Amino acid sequence: MTHLCVSIPVDAADAVGAALAAAARGAERGASMVEWRVDALVDALGGAQALPHVRALVRGAPVPSIVTVRSAREGGDWHGADDERVSFLEALCAASVPGEAPAFIDFELADFGRSANLRQKVELCVVHPGQVRDVGTRLVLSAHGPEGRPADLVRSVAAMADAPSCTVAKVAWTARSVRDCVEAFELLLARPKPMVALCMGEAGVMTRVLAPKFGAFLTFARAGGPGDADAAAAVAVGTAPGQPTVAELVERYGFGCIGPRTQVFGVVGWPVAHSRSPEVHNAWFRERSQDAVYVPIPVAPGWESFKASLSELLAFAPLDFRGASVTLPHKEHLVRFVRESGGTVDAIAARIGAANTLCVAEGGALRCTNTDAPAAVDALVAGMGIDRAALRGRRVAVIGAGGVARAVAAGLADEGATVVVFARRADRARAMCDDLMRGTDAGAACGAFEGRVVAGREGELGCGCFHAFVNCTPVGMEGGPDPDGNPLEDVALDGAVTVMDTVYSPRETPLLRESRARGARCVDGLAMFMDQARRQSELWAGLS
């Protein structure tokens, strides 16, 4: 069993009540352990004055406790001498009242190994083969890399394995790429004793979610966050970058149902923290009882980054990576990757030159397709109040020249619309239009589309001759490069035109808000998002 541990910082005596209330809510939502991060409290008050408050935390906890006084050297708030910190832990673990000694204490390997005297003092606090005291607390030895993978990671794990007093080995470092996550999984599979191996930061979220798949002793979660009932409490912030809330792990990711045979899917892009895809796809997996989980996989821009990350995911067989939604800026990279890997590029993806869906068959064969194109057409015609046939002869301005723009332009042109493409770089817009009109695949015939895709000229966006505008850039996206931007800010709009945004987070972008105020019909990105996601989910349900 992998414990779900809610990690709660307590920095002042008057925060004890709120911390205990947060722990109770965490336990109600599925947490089976609580970590009390009391380094700031002990540092501020001193060990003797802090001791009764920490005992109150342990005594009042609804689930077994870990007590951590993290050194500032490894990202904590304890700035005092090591012997003072150990004296506090010894007094805590020697509690004579039942229920006031924690189940575990966490102590850093680097300090544990600094001197034999310090190590002996720590070992007085915990269960080990040579212990003569009547204690019930066990030791978590830990090593951290806030700046990235520690150079001595493998040596640290070996040292923890060799320490008889170490019950649980824990390593945590800030992930910079998918490779860091895979290495954490490899450590768990080769663990010599109960182990925690996780990566911090946005790139490490999958290690927290997939901890049960690889047999980790526990994973950490925070008590609350924005929009959560705990938002007003200081405990909501968590204790390390990238910690999901308890509710997110349980309700969004189905933490309690993840096991060794769980298939892994994800959303690959940059950024992905805003994506609703994990929420949507995990709910659909549960509805059809598919043993699968969908996680965020941030991959930095660039072909080499994408190629390296996908290669790592596919090469690590124990992950059972079976597919992905691929979003900005990697949709064109996906087509290239599948081709170079000897996989199958569906006709629609080949024609567009971009794909948003990767499927991995049981034997490892790759296939990619594009569900954006049909979803975009469905969303736009619904917003315009017409059927597909009525698109013939309509003029639609598409803003952008990336993978989404390619899919939208292709889908609309296939229905007979005239698509005019506008982009910051005119050469990219022209190249995209040339590709689409001649076909991106060697076997595609010229004039593959019934309509036309042409590059717009400077100043033509506001010519007044378009029936619809579709934004296919990240302008207006939460967490994107220009969240307050509006690509049609200087274009006259009225009730005769329809404005569609492919951005769905937020649902009401500046573009839609201002276009609606000018009288235009508006289509938010959620309809297209849900349609393309549904098509992806159906493909993944059929994998064998």
pLDDT at 236: 44
Unique residue bearing structure tokens 């024609």: 351
| Averaged pLDDT, 460-479 | 94
Question: In the annotation, is 193 catalytic?
Answer: no
Indicate where the chain has its CATH 3.40.50.720 domain(s).
Answer: 373-530
pLDDT at 542: 85
Q: What percent of the chain has pLDDT over 90?
A: 87
Q: Distance between CA atoms of 61 and 27, rounded to whole angstroms? A: 9
Indicate where the chain has its CATH 3.20.20.70 domain(s).
Answer: 3-257
H helices of 171-302, where?
178-189, 205-209, 246-247, 277-287
Whether the per-residue pLDDT at 233 is higher than 70: the answer is no
Instruction: Kindly report the pTM of this predicted structure.
Output: 0.90
Amino acid type, 519: G
**Would you place residue 10 in the very low, low, confident or very high pLDDT band (cuts 50, 70, 90)?**
very high
Amino acid type, 246: V
Q: Distance between CA atoms of 436 and 71, rounded to whole angstroms? A: 58
pLDDT digits (tens, 9 = 90+) for 90-125: 999 997 787 899 999 999 999 999 999 999 999 999
Catalytic residue among 121, 170, 213, 331: 331
Its sign, for the CA torsion 528, 531, 535, 536, is positive
Q: Which residue has the higher pLDDT, 229 or 254?
A: 254
| Averaged pLDDT, 450-460 | 87
**Which segments of 73-231 are extended strands (E)?**
104-108, 138-145, 166-174, 195-200, 218-221
The candidate with the shortest Cα–Cα distance to 384, out of 522, 192, 206, is 522
Amino acid type, 462: G
Q: Distance between CA atoms of 544 and 533, rounded to whole angstroms? A: 19
Of the listed ranges 231-235, 238-242, 320-324, 379-383, the one predicted with least confidence: 231-235
CA 176 to chain centre: 13
Of the listed ranges 240-254, 379-393, 414-428, 436-450, the one predicted with least confidence: 436-450
pLDDT at 439: 53
| Architecture of the domain delimited by 263-371+532-541 | 3-Layer(aba) Sandwich (3.40)
3-state secondary structure 299-352: CCCCHHHHHHHHHHHHHCHHHCEEEEEECCCCHHHHHHHHHHCCCEECHHHHHH
Indicate where the chain has its CATH 3.40.50.10860 domain(s).
Answer: 263-371+532-541
| Averaged pLDDT, 15-29 | 96
Q: Distance between CA atoms of 140 and 381, rounded to whole angstroms? A: 59
pLDDT at 442: 37
Q: At what angle do helices 372-384 and 525-541 cross, to 10 degrees?
A: 140
pLDDT at 459: 87
pLDDT at 219: 98
Domain spanning 373-530 has what CATH number? 3.40.50.720
| The CATH number fitting domain 3-257, selected from 3.40.50.20, 3.20.20.70, 3.40.50.2300, 3.20.20.220 | 3.20.20.70
Q: Distance between CA atoms of 108 and 76, rounded to whole angstroms? A: 11
Whether the per-residue pLDDT at 539 is higher than 50: the answer is yes
Here the tokens at position 254 are 């189905």
